[in-house]
Amino acid sequence: MPTYNDCGIVLNSYDLGESDKILNIYTKENGLVRAVVKGVRKPLSKFSGKVDQLSCCYFHLANGKNLDTVCDCEQVNSFSLLRANLALLTSAVLFLEIVGNFAHEDETDSLHIYDLLYESLDRLQRSSNPDLDSISFISKFLSINGYKPQFETCVSCAVEVGLAPALLDNFPYSSILGGILCSNCSPLIDNKSIDLDVLKVLFEFESDDFPSRNIQEELKSKNIRSALELLREHLDIRAKKKIKSFDLVFSL
């Protein structure tokens, strides 16, 4: 039976039989991998505590017809600081669910998505504002997958839209199309009004740099939550199914 090695992060798992589990793993080189871990639920299993949700491991796997098999693994990072804080853990599970909803086997961009997921989880461990980290992760994830919201030009006719405060304080936004509408297109397409300050939150994540501490302090909590809600709606329309972890995030 052919075998291979790969680094991966456990997105979630399901019980199988009396002692086995099926893992959904997002790997660096192979994208989504579904694999069985035999005997993991036995008290003396060598896998005990290593392959829980959120664990990053270096896996040795054997190819199977429907499911691969985990032959061995070495834990690289358990992200223990996330597990000790409910707000951080909730955001971490959100990251995993988002990746899982868009993941496919043998993805061409798996390296970029894996690196983004690992780095975002690692940074989240030291976060003082998990909502901002969530916006950062989602914005970059959407950009990699080609689903980035469009704010600079009309999403319908591509005319440039000026976001100057002197002109407007609110802008028509189409969640279905995924972007801002101009004054000519907005009467013809279902939209909702988005405050300029909410859009400013999203603009801070246009670059690869995380917003500086000074900028973070200027961003109001209400606007941050509204921006996250906008991204939630954007994701839910494009994902395989709705992202349930958002409910817990917004309950905290």
Same domain assignment for residues 88 and 71: no
Same domain assignment for residues 98 and 140: yes
Query: Contact, 13 vs 21, CB < 8 A?
Result: yes
Residue 193 domain-assigned (yes or no) = yes
Structural domain count, the chain: 2
Q: Which two tokens stand for residue 134?
A: 């969530």
Distance CA 199, CA 72 (A): 46
The residue among 33, 62, 77 that closes a domain is: 77
In this prediction the pTM is 0.91
Same domain assignment for residues 59 and 101: no
Same domain assignment for residues 20 and 120: no
Query: Contact, 78 vs 225, CB < 8 A?
Result: no
- pLDDT-derived band at 166, boundaries 50, 70, 90: very low
What's the domain range around 144? 80-149+188-251
- pLDDT-derived band at 201, boundaries 50, 70, 90: confident
Task: Residue 127: give its domain's CATH number.
Answer: 1.20.1440.120
Task: Residue 38: give its domain's CATH number.
Answer: 2.40.50.140
Same domain assignment for residues 65 and 122: no
Same domain assignment for residues 246 and 194: yes
Residue 24 domain-assigned (yes or no) = yes
Q: Residue 36 pLDDT > 50, yes or no?
A: yes
Per-residue pLDDT averaged across 155-165, rounded?
Answer: 79
- pLDDT-derived band at 211, boundaries 50, 70, 90: low
Closest CA to 173 of 199, 197, 147, 148: 199
